[in-house]
């Protein structure tokens, strides 16, 4: 199953009362589809998954898939640190029309490698949908090791991994031992090109909300064999890749999406909005990229 090169981890638009704005979610999804995104991940960390209810997530899955149709793949973020809760949400997500599921390594309870294996296997066996694993030790305090991913790759509908470990040796080991058709995606915008060089498939991106067209030029150049142009794009875009994490994600990217005239709204507590100084930094950051 080929998932594309750039999948955007979409923010969840909120209205002034911090209720999910489903109409703006449709609008944003269509915008992303028109600006470089081959796919969209809904209700991931960037989508403020910890503060979304199950009902809100299911409605988001439905409206985003309806908005983009068959041309853009939609993955539903159903993972949590409860296997039973993840399975229950995964089963309900099937009826929303999404193309696949994404589940993060269980956070806070720090499972063993065997615990992670059993967690993901149980989720995968609960539905026929393709499942993408998500490894982000900086948020979960647990690292899904390559040997465990290899075991999981033997389960037919576990098809991909979003890898945000940030260690190229681990990525190299993944690519060394995994089947060629098992797709590995960067979970960090700044590591997109380095991970492409290691044979990975693309990026689950935050930055693509605002520089999706430019990122598409970078990945297109790489896959066309024009490594010099791809590198130049990487270097040009690096300030945005790093700058959008000046404070907790998705605070900066929501602010920038708002500046584009798309109504992403604000963030729910315990996150708080960007400070005036952070807003000035982010505005100047994006202006410099767009002027070059």
Question: Crossing angle for the helix pair 208-223 and 22-34, nearest 10 degrees?
Answer: 30
The overall pTM is greater than 0.85: yes
> What architecture is the 6-245 domain classified under in CATH?
Alpha-Beta Barrel (3.20)
- Low-confidence stretches of the chain (pLDDT beneath 70): 1
Q: What integer pLDDT is reported at residue 88 of this predicted model?
A: 98
Q: What integer pLDDT is reported at residue 290 of this predicted model?
A: 82
Q: What integer pLDDT is reported at residue 109 of this predicted model?
A: 95
Residue 116 and residue 119: Cα distance in Å, rounded?
5
Contact 188, 164 (CB under 8 A): yes
Q: What integer pLDDT is reported at residue 117 of this predicted model?
A: 98
Q: What integer pLDDT is reported at residue 291 of this predicted model?
A: 80
Locate the domains of the chain by residue range. Answer: 6-245
| Chain segment 122-144, per-residue pLDDT in tens | 999 999 999 999 999 999 999 99
Contact 282, 247 (CB under 8 A): no
| Chain segment 232-279, per-residue pLDDT in tens | 999 999 999 999 999 999 999 999 999 999 999 999 999 999 999 999
Residue 97 and residue 58: Cα distance in Å, rounded?
10
List, by residue number, the catalytic residues: 134, 162
């Amino acid at each position: 199953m080929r998932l594309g090169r750039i999948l955007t981890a979409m923010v969840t638009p909120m209205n002034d009362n911090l209720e999910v704005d489903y109409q703006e979610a449709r609008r944003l999804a269509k915008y992303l589809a028109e600006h470089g995104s081959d796919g969209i991940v809904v209700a991931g960390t960037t989508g403020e998954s910890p503060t979304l209810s199950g009902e809100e997530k299911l409605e988001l899955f439905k409206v985003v898939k309806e908005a983009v149709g068959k041309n853009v793949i939609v993955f539903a973020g159903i993972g949590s640190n409860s296997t039973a809760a993840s399975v229950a949400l995964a089963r309900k997500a099937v009826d929303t029309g999404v193309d696949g599921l994404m589940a993060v390594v269980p956070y806070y309870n720090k499972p063993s490698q065997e615990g992670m294996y059993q967690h993901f296997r149980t989720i995968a066996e609960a539905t026929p949908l393709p499942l993408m694993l998500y490894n982000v030790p900086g948020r979960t305090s647990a690292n899904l090791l390559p040997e465990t991913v290899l075991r999981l790759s033997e389960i037919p509908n576990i098809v991909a991994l979003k890898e945000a470990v940030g260690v190229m040796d681990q990525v190299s080991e993944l690519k060394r031992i995994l089947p060629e058709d098992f797709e590995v995606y960067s979970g960090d915008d700044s590591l997109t090109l380095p991970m492409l060089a290691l044979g990975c498939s693309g990026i689950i991106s935050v930055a693509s909300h605002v520089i999706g067209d430019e990122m598409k030029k970078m990945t297109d150049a790489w896959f066309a064999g024009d490594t010099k142009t791809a590198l130049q794009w990487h270097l040009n875009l690096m300030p945005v890749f790093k700058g959008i994490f000046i404070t907790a994600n998705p605070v900066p990217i929501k602010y920038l999406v708002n500046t584009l005239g798309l109504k992403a709204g604000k963030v729910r507590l315990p996150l708080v909005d960007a400070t005036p100084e952070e807003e000035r930094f982010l505005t100047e950051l994006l202006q410099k990229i767009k002027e070059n």
